[in-house]
Structure 1
Amino acid sequence: MSVPQPMEGRASDSARVFQTGGDQYIEEHVHHYAPGSAPLFGRPWEGPAEPRRTAPDSVRLPLVGRAPGVLRDRTDLMERLRAAVAGPGGDIQVLHGMGGCGKTAVAQALFTEAVRDHGRVGLWVNASERVSLRAGMLAVAGDRGATGGELAAAAGGRRAAADLVWHHLDHSVKPWLLVLDNADDPGVLEEGAWLRTSPSGTVLVTTRHATSPLWRAPGASSHRLGVLPLEDATSVLCDLAPEAGTRESARKVARRLGCLPLALTLAGAHLAHQLLESWSMDEYDRRLGEESTALVDRGASATGGDRSRRLVGRTWQLSLDTLAQGGLPEATTLLRLLSFWAADPVPLSLLMPAARGGITLGHLDPPLTAERVEPALRALLDHSLTDLVEADGHRCVKAHGVLLDSVAAGVPGAERAPLAAAAGLLLRAALPREGAASPQARSSARLLAPHAAGLLHRSHRQGLVTAESVRIAVRVARLVYEAGDWTAALNLASTAARTATEHLGDEDPAAIEARSGQGPILFRLGRYAEAADLLRPVHRDALRALGPHDTRTLDTAYELQRVLHRLGDLEQARTLLEAVLDGRRHVLGDDHVATLKTRCEMLELRLSQNEFVHYVAAAEELAGDCERRLGPAHLVTVWARDALARGLLRSGRGAEAEDLFRRVLTGQRAGYGDGHPLVLGVLIQLSRAQYAQGKREQAAESAREVAEQRAVILGEDHPETAAARAWHAEIQAEPPAGEGAGPGEGR
Structure 2
Amino acid sequence: MNGGNDARADGRGRVYQASGDQHIIEHHHHGSEGGAGGPGGGGVWSGLDSVRWPSVGRAPAVLRDRTTLMARLRASVAPDAGGQVYVLHGLGGCGKTAVAYALFQYATSEAGRIGLWVNASDTASLRTGMLAVAADRGAGDGELTAARSGLRAAADLVWDHLDRSDRPWLLVLDNADDPAVLRDGGWLRTSPRGTVLVTTRQAARHWWPGAELLQVGVLPKADAARVLCDLAPAAGTVEEAEAVAERLGRLPLALTLAGGFLAHQVIDPWTMAEYGRNLDGGHGADPIDLLDQGAVSAGADSRHLVSSTWQFSLNALVAQGLPESVTLLRLLACWAGDPLPLSLLSGVEMGDALPRRRVEVALRGLLDQSLTEVVPGTVRCLRTHGVLLDSVWRGTSADQRDSLAATAAGQLLSVLPEVPERGRPDPRTSLLAPHAVALLRRVVEGPDVGRPTVDSIAESLLRLVVALHRAGDYAPALTVAEKAVELGTQQLGADHPSILRLRERVGRSLCRLGRFEESEAVHRQVLADCERVQGPAAPDTLTCSLGLARPVNVLGRREEAVALARRAVAGRTTTLGPVHPLTLIARSHLLSVHPEPEAGAEFMADCQRELGPEHPISVGGALDHAFALFSLQRTSEALPAAREALRLFETKFGVDYPITLNAGALLSQVLEALGKHAEALGQAEAVVEGRMRVLGPEHPWTVTAQERLARFRGA
TM-based fold match above 0.5: yes
1:387 corresponds to which of 367, 373, 397 = 373
Superposed, 1:668-679 pairs within 5 Å as 668-679=649-660
Verify: 1:434 aligned to 2:411, yes or no.
no
Verify: 1:707 aligned to 2:700, yes or no.
no
Superposed, 1:677-692 pairs within 5 Å as 677-692=658-673
SS at match of 1:244: coil
Deviations along 1:136-166, whole A, 9 cap, x unmatched?
1111111111111111211222211111111
User: Match for residue 32 of structure 1?
Assistant: 12
Superposed, 1:569-608 pairs within 5 Å as 569-607=557-595
Q: Give the distance between the partners of 1:167 and 1:658, measured in 2 at CA.
A: 90
Q: CA deviation at 1:51?
A: 9.5
Q: CA deviation at 1:506?
A: 2.1
Q: CA deviation at 1:651?
A: 5.2
SS at match of 1:476: helix
| Runs of at least 5 residues in structure 1 that lack an aligned partner in the other structure | 1-19, 35-39, 355-359, 608-614, 735-747
User: Match for residue 141 of structure 1?
Assistant: 134
Verify: 1:42 aligned to 2:10, yes or no.
no
Q: CA deviation at 1:448?
A: 1.1
SS at match of 1:420: helix
2:442 corresponds to which of 441, 454, 458 = 458
Q: Is the 8 A contact 1:471 1:514 kept in 2?
A: no
Q: Which amino acid aligns with 2:160?
A: H
Q: Give the distance between the partners of 2:647 and 2:183, measured in 1 at CA.
A: 62
SS at match of 2:435: helix
Superposed, 1:529-568 pairs within 5 Å as 529-568=517-556
Deviations along 1:48-67, whole A, 9 cap, x unmatched?
x9994754221111111231
Q: CA deviation at 1:321?
A: 0.9
Q: Give the distance between the partners of 2:632 and 2:497, measured in 1 at CA.
A: 44
User: Match for residue 395 of structure 2?
Assistant: 410
Q: Give the distance between the partners of 2:243 and 2:32, measured in 1 at CA.
A: 54
User: Match for residue 646 of structure 2?
Assistant: 665
Q: Give the distance between the partners of 1:96 and 1:117, measured in 2 at CA.
A: 25
User: Match for residue 431 of structure 2?
Assistant: 447
User: Match for residue 350 of structure 2?
Assistant: 361
SS at match of 2:191: coil
Q: Is the 8 A contact 2:681 2:712 kept in 1?
A: yes
SS at match of 2:302: helix
2:180 corresponds to which of 187, 205, 210 = 187
User: Match for residue 612 of structure 1?
Assistant: none
Q: Which amino acid aligns with 1:316?
A: W
Q: CA deviation at 1:107?
A: 0.3
Q: Is the 8 A contact 1:500 1:514 kept in 2?
A: no
Superposed, 1:115-514 pairs within 5 Å as 115-217=108-210, 220-290=211-281, 291-301=286-296, 304=299, 307-354=301-348, 360-362=349-351, 367-391=353-377, 393-435=378-420, 439-441=424-426, 443-463=427-447, 464=449, 466-514=454-502
Deviations along 1:687-732, whole A, 9 cap, x unmatched?
1222233221221121112112212322222110111001101101
Cα 1:730/1:243, change in 2 over 3 Å: same
Q: Is the 8 A contact 1:509 1:546 kept in 2?
A: no
Deviations along 1:58-108, whole A, 9 cap, x unmatched?
111111123111100001111110111113311111111111110000000
Q: Give the distance between the partners of 1:41 and 1:540, measured in 2 at CA.
A: 103
Q: Which amino acid aligns with 1:231?
A: A
Q: Which amino acid aligns with 1:522?
A: L
Deviations along 1:460-491, whole A, 9 cap, x unmatched?
11134722211211210111111111111111
User: Match for residue 60 of structure 2?
Assistant: 68
User: Match for residue 77 of structure 1?
Assistant: 69
Q: Give the distance between the partners of 1:328 and 1:259, measured in 2 at CA.
A: 29
Q: Is the 8 A contact 2:655 2:661 kept in 1?
A: no
Q: Provide the TM-score with structure 2 as the length reference.
A: 0.92
Q: Which amino acid aligns with 2:483?
A: T
Q: Give the distance between the partners of 1:669 and 1:324, measured in 2 at CA.
A: 54
Q: Is the 8 A contact 1:532 1:564 kept in 2?
A: yes
Deviations along 1:521-580, whole A, 9 cap, x unmatched?
000000110011111111111111111122111111111111111111222222222111
Deviations along 1:258-289, whole A, 9 cap, x unmatched?
11111001100110011233111111001001
Q: Which amino acid aligns with 2:150?
A: G
Q: Which amino acid aligns with 2:291?
A: V
Superposed, 1:603-642 pairs within 5 Å as 603-607=591-595, 615-642=596-623
Q: Which amino acid aligns with 1:245?
A: G
SS at match of 2:173: strand
SS at match of 2:376: strand
Cα 1:458/1:277, change in 2 over 3 Å: same
Q: Provide the TM-score with structure 1 as the length reference.
A: 0.88
Q: Is the 8 A contact 1:72 1:232 kept in 2?
A: yes
Q: Is the 8 A contact 2:597 2:629 kept in 1?
A: yes
SS at match of 2:351: coil
Q: Is the 8 A contact 1:186 1:212 kept in 2?
A: no
Q: CA deviation at 1:669?
A: 3.1
Q: Give the distance between the partners of 1:445 and 1:295, measured in 2 at CA.
A: 34
User: Match for residue 10 of structure 1?
Assistant: none
Superposed, 1:90-101 pairs within 5 Å as 90-101=83-94
User: Match for residue 13 of structure 1?
Assistant: none
Q: Give the distance between the partners of 2:123 and 2:180, measured in 1 at CA.
A: 9
Cα 1:437/1:639, change in 2 over 3 Å: closer
User: Which of structure 1's runs of 4+ aligned residues deviate more than 4 A?
Assistant: 43-46, 49-54, 302-305, 435-438, 650-656
